[in-house]
């Protein structure tokens, strides 16, 4: 079953309260909070203070997508804010299996994001500690990009990988989803 998690990176923070009320009225399943460090991706986005502001206005569950170079250095900081899922990028930590296990040990679902150009075999051996694989259908770091059609094939291949291992890992897609849905 599809769930929708609109990106909070795209809201007008000057109108945060009213935009969150609109999302509550729309019964969104979750909020997606992008955190960018200007190093892993060439952009900066939401901070812990932004997350606290969002949390003060709603009880909608949320995930945190850490587009940062050293996620291990920040797991406790973001875990303490209470996300349901914490995503890290397959390309970021030196010890991916350990980092995903550390997220799970904090009682948070481990999320693994994979960039469009990263070979899928890079995640195959860590699926046992991954609750959700997030396929990036754009290059991470900026809103408003065009959907990369090869994401469809990558989704199919990841599903095959998960099923062949008998896992219950879920899938998420991040990037240009509204464009994809409107052209389907």
Active-site residue set = 34, 174
The alpha-helical segments, DSSP class H, found in 64-150 are 75-79, 96-105, 121-124
Q: Which residues contact 127 (CB under 8 A, 6 or more apart)?
A: 133, 161, 162, 165, 167, 169
CA dist., res. 90 & res. 64, Å (int): 15
DSSP class of residue 72 equals G
Q: Where are the beta strands (DSSP E) in 4-46?
A: 31-36
C-alpha dihedral sign at 25, 16, 11, 46: negative
């Amino acid at each position: 079953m599809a769930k929708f998690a609109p990106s909070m990176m795209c809201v007008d923070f000057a109108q945060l309260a009213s935009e969150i009320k609109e999302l509550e009225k729309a019964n969104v399943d979750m909020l997606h909070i992008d955190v960018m460090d200007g190093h892993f991706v060439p952009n900066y986005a939401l901070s812990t203070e932004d997350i606290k502001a969002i949390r003060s206005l709603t009880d909608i569950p949320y995930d945190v997508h850490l587009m940062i170079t050293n996620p291990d250095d920040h797991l406790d900081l973001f875990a303490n804010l209470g996300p349901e899922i914490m995503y890290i990028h397959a390309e970021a930590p030196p010890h991916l299996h350990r980092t995903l296990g550390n997220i799970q040990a904090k009682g948070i679902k481990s999320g693994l994001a994979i960039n469009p150009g990263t070979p899928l075999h890079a995640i195959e051996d860590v699926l046992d500690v991954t609750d959700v694989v997030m396929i990036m259908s754009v290059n991470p770091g900026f809103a408003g990009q065009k959907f990369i059609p090869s994401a469809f094939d990558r989704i199919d291949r990841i599903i095959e990988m998960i099923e062949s291992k008998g896992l219950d890992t879920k899938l998420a897609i991040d990037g240009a989803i509204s464009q994809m849905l409107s052209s389907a």
